[in-house]
Amino acid sequence: MSQKTIPVAHYGAHDNHGSSDTVFGFWLYLMTDCVLFASLFAVFAVMSHQFAGGPSGKDLFDIGGVAVETAALLLSSITYGFAMLGARRGKSAAVLGWLAVTFVLGLAFLFLEMREFTHLIAEGAGPSRSAFLSSFFTLVGTHGLHVTVGLVWMVVLAVQIVRSPEMSERQLTRLTCLSLFWHFLDIVWICVFSFVYLGSVL
């Protein structure tokens, strides 16, 4: 009987070790993303006053609208946290419900961002207008692309949970990696809001 128990414990330890390696590897990926965004912030800092005779951030940015974007994304981090609580309790229905709310909030953020981009381009303040606007569109657009990837990832995980409602260790690991990614995007956006938008207006 003891011979049957030992392999089970061994496999459980192996699974946990594999999950830890996956999460650690994802942390390493996030570090490379930090370097990417740090480079984009540095470029924006250099180009932030290169208007080429065009409009500045003070002329273009609607802080009220950007604040709504920010609120939607920050709230989505809270709802994703509720999804993780449901996952750790093995409640797949709660996970799916909170993932759906998080997805809607993330989609609202992207909609507001695309509306802002469309409005700026319609006013002749597209990325080719000045170095300031080129760096702005590149930085904010790169963040928006990451949010889009996160939403696609969210849909994939939701489909997997629907097909297999039991909260396995592998599913928890996948949800944890997406949680790290989503919260990381929140932190980056807070920096964008503070440094790019507020810094350009004040």
| Residue located via tokens 């790169």 | 142
CATH number of the domain that residue 107 is part of: 1.20.120.80
The pLDDT assigned to 17 comes to: 56
Give the integer Cα–Cα distance in Å for 102 and 147: 12
121 CB contacts (<8 Å, ≥6 apart)? none
The pLDDT assigned to 18 comes to: 59
pLDDT at 6 over 60: no
Give the integer Cα–Cα distance in Å for 176 and 97: 17
The pLDDT assigned to 20 comes to: 81
**Total domains, the chain:** 1
Give the pLDDT band (50/70/90) at residue 8. very low
176: buried, middle or exposed (CB in 10 Å: 19+, 13-18, 0-12)? middle
pLDDT in tens, 63-97: 999 999 999 999 999 999 999 999 999 999 999 99
Three-class DSSP category at 23? helix
Computed over every residue of the chain, the mean pLDDT equals 90
Q: Once rounded to an integer, what is the mean pLDDT over residues 115-141? A: 95
Give a yes or no: residue 53 inside a domain.
no
**Residue ranges making up the domain that contains 175:** 2-48+62-201
The pLDDT assigned to 21 comes to: 82
Give the integer Cα–Cα distance in Å for 53 and 51: 5
**Token representation of residue 8:** 């089970």
Give the integer Cα–Cα distance in Å for 147 and 157: 15
pLDDT in tens, 12-65: 444 555 578 888 889 999 999 999 999 999 999 999 999 988 899 899 999 999
The pLDDT assigned to 202 comes to: 80
Give the integer Cα–Cα distance in Å for 65 and 63: 5
Give a yes or no: residue 79 inside a domain.
yes
The pLDDT assigned to 131 comes to: 95
Neighbours of 69 (CB within 10 A): 21
Give a yes or no: residue 32 inside a domain.
yes
The enclosing H or E element of 116 equals helix 92-122
84: buried, middle or exposed (CB in 10 Å: 19+, 13-18, 0-12)? middle
The pLDDT assigned to 168 comes to: 87
Give a yes or no: residue 150 inside a domain.
yes
Give a yes or no: residue 54 inside a domain.
no
Give a yes or no: residue 186 inside a domain.
yes
pLDDT at 2 over 90: no
Give a yes or no: residue 77 inside a domain.
yes
Give a yes or no: residue 55 inside a domain.
no
Between helices 92-122 and 63-88, what is the axis angle to 10°? 160
